[in-house]
Structure 1
Amino acid sequence: MVFDFKLVIYCFLCNCLSGIYADISGVNGDVSQIWKELNELKTVLLETRLDLSNTRKEFADSRKVLGQELANTKQTLKDTRQDLAETKRELNEIKKVTYRSKAQFDEIHKGNDQKRFLDTANELHELQIDMQNMHQLQVDVQNLKAKMAAVQLQVKISQTPRIGFTSTISQDVVNLGDNQVIRFDRVYTNEGSDYNSLTGIFTCEIPGLYAFYVHTLAEPGKHLETEITKNLQIMAYTYAKDKEAYSSGSNMAVMTLQKGDTVLVRSHGSQHDHNGSVIDSGYTSFSGFLIAP
């Protein structure tokens, strides 16, 4: 029984010693790691001391350079202050000279100011008179131009103008349209050049009493109605229609025209045949002349 108790104690002690040994082994491992880290930290500290030493050296050199530059700057500032003082004295002298010159200038021109003012006033007055005369001259010129235009028109009207034309169609008119202007393109007479063969329109240039005559010839079996217009207002009609033979229509219109009024001949609305040859060119004419201005 005693032996068993000792055995139990022995086993207990062995277990305790094993745990203590394991703890010591773990501590030894931690200590090694700590020494390793201490050595690395030492190395870092040495490098830091070296960098700090170099930095202190560089700082000393920079301080020396800055001290030299500061001394140079102080000297420059001193020289600048002296230059500014000298400039200030020169400016004061210039100011004094300027004041004296201004006083002399004022004294010289003081007596001339009133004369200048009077001369300027006289010049302005004369300029105003010239402008008034120029305006009156412009009015006179405009009046003269108006009178000249009136005289020219009167002279033109008072003369016996030669206004008259006669024109025919150079080829048959086919497929006649509604209200189509008939262009009498072959001109025999055109005194005054008021008739335009390209458009078939007479445009009045000299006001007066005019007479216009139109004669048309329709193709066999065709229906044709035309109208003489003044500013597109109907003044006279023509009518031509025959089932088998040629048919003709003619009329005259006397009218008073003003400058710019137009006279032409056109188909009377849709009162005509549309297809094929409608108007014969050989016997279709348009004439007009001035009776009296």
Structure 2
Amino acid sequence: MENYLVVLILSAFVLLGAFYVHTVNQNIVQIKDELLHHGNEINKVKLELEWTRNELKQAQIEVKVELESTKKEVKQVKVELESTKKELTEVKIDFESTRKELTEVKEDFDSTRKQMNILRAEMIEKDNAYRKEINQIRLDVNALPEELNKIKTELHSQKPGFYVTLSSHTTLHQTQRIEFDQVITDVTKNYNKITGIFTVPKDGLYHFSFTMFSNGGGLHAEIMQNHQVIGKKSWNSQLRVSNN
């Protein structure tokens, strides 16, 4: 009986050991499967890491290229900045010069305004003086008819008459007007010594006479009224005189 119990207990231990071994084997298989699965995942991770490393290398190269380009751009920006600083300095100098010029222009404008005010005052003063003169001239002009009437009355009361001669000997040509340029007497101032024409101041009876001397050769002279002959005198080489 005791042996039977021992065998039974040993059998139980054997069964438990077999069950434990089976369980352990299953666990080992499961662990192997998990390790294999993890190995695949690790390989995937390695591949991803390799791809990431390549990407990082490519990105590093691109970053270096961009960094070099950025450095060049920064240098260019620095150059442009220096140029801009110079231009700003020149602009500042031009601005200061322009400010000075504007100040001078303002001073000139103020001076011109003062001069214009002075000129305006002078013009107003002159305008007032001119107005007074114009008023005086108007008064004088209004008084002219009366003075003209007086002059006309005086002229009518005077008998017109004139006596003129030549200031020097002259050589005459055919149809030449004789202009007596030396006025001895002209009572009514109606003889024009430039044209040699006497304009009668009023209607009436007039007497004209003239004396001519020819130094050899013949001479013919006429007195004309409004382009019409009203008297003439001729000399020939035999000193014969003809009056008409």
TM above 0.5: no
Structure (1 or 2) with the larger CA radius of gyration: 2
Please report the TM-score for the alignment, with normalisation by the length of structure 1. 0.36
Please report the TM-score for the alignment, with normalisation by the length of structure 2. 0.43
Whose RCO is larger (CA < 8 A, sep 6+)?
Answer: 1
Q: Determine which structure has the larger strand proportion and give its number.
A: 1
